[in-house]
Chain A
């Protein structure tokens, strides 16, 4: 699986959009970009995933650059409950590298009042 790079921490004011970047310059053509988050003392929560097209669901939007070497997770109107560690994971279906999701360090997002 391709390696990802995320900033260790970010702040965002409540009600504003939170834009979380992720670099994955070694991504392969069949690898998807997944985003999870982990709120303190809870299990990881799936947010969204995509291959090359931008994706949107009720939680967030995922913008993937045309060359697919980076992506941005957008929380359009951040709330205090969005404070969490956000993980960007790159993975191919039926990966031969094992079944575990490699969460890495992630970005710790702090949403402030």
Chain B
């Protein structure tokens, strides 16, 4: 079946602009995660959605970052007033249930802030 998809695959933006990144999880998966990976670094957790519960936003680095998940499926990560340090690969993952820890990742969105 289809895996996790993300769009756009690449995004170049100017400092100060807002960007929106999209994630389509695997159909039927109730848990959705956003991570980011800076060049040569490990994965940094950003936010987690589980069904209709309030999201865990504990990993968001600043209030410029926000995310929503509409209808329990598609998620959008928004970065306002982008900074150069926001440049990274933004990865989305989904899992069937919270209790099932196997997370399946999308290909990522490569964000470059000039």
Q: Do A and B come from one complex?
A: yes
Of the candidates A46, A49, A94, A104, the one whose C-beta lies within 8 Å of that of B42 is A104
Q: Which of B60-68, B75-83, B95-103 contacts A (4 or more CB under 8 A)?
A: B95-103
Is the pair A100, B45 in contact by a Cβ cutoff of 8 Å? Answer: yes
A46-B102 contact in complex given A98-B45, A98-B58, A104-B42, C-beta closer than 8 Å: yes
A43 interface residue (CB < 8 Å to B): yes
Is the pair B91, A43 in contact by a Cβ cutoff of 8 Å? Answer: yes
Is the pair A101, B104 in contact by a Cβ cutoff of 8 Å? Answer: no
Q: In whole angstroms, how far apart are the Cα atoms of A100 and B106 in the complex? A: 15
Of the candidates A32, A43, A99, A105, the one whose C-beta lies within 8 Å of that of B107 is A43
Q: In whole angstroms, how far apart are the Cα atoms of A42 and B59 in the complex? A: 22
Q: Nearest CB to that of B110 among chain A residues?
A: A41
Of the candidates B33, B42, B101, B103, the one whose C-beta lies within 8 Å of that of A32 is B101
Taking CB atoms, residues of chain A closer than 8 Å to B108 are: 42-43
Q: Nearest CB to that of B6 among chain A residues?
A: A43
Distance (Å) between the CB of A13 and the closest chain B CB? Answer: 27
How many residues of A are counted as interface, with CB atoms below 8 angstroms from the partner's CB atoms?
20
Distance (Å) between the CB of A73 and the closest chain B CB? Answer: 15
Is the pair A43, B106 in contact by a Cβ cutoff of 8 Å? Answer: yes
Is the pair A100, B102 in contact by a Cβ cutoff of 8 Å? Answer: no
Distance (Å) between the CB of B12 and the closest chain A CB? Answer: 16
Of the candidates B33, B42, B101, B107, the one whose C-beta lies within 8 Å of that of A103 is B42
Q: In whole angstroms, how far apart are the Cα atoms of A94 and B99 in the complex? A: 5
Is the pair A34, B45 in contact by a Cβ cutoff of 8 Å? Answer: no
Taking CB atoms, residues of chain B closer than 8 Å to A99 are: 31, 33, 45, 48, 56, 98
Cβ-closest 10 pairs across A and B: A100-B45, A43-B105, A99-B48, A44-B105, A43-B108, A103-B42, A103-B43, A43-B107, A93-B99, A43-B91
Pull 14 A–B residue pairs with CB atoms less than 8 Å apart, ordered by A: A34-B102, A43-B105, A44-B93, A46-B103, A46-B104, A93-B100, A94-B99, A98-B56, A98-B58, A100-B33, A100-B43, A101-B43, A102-B42, A104-B42
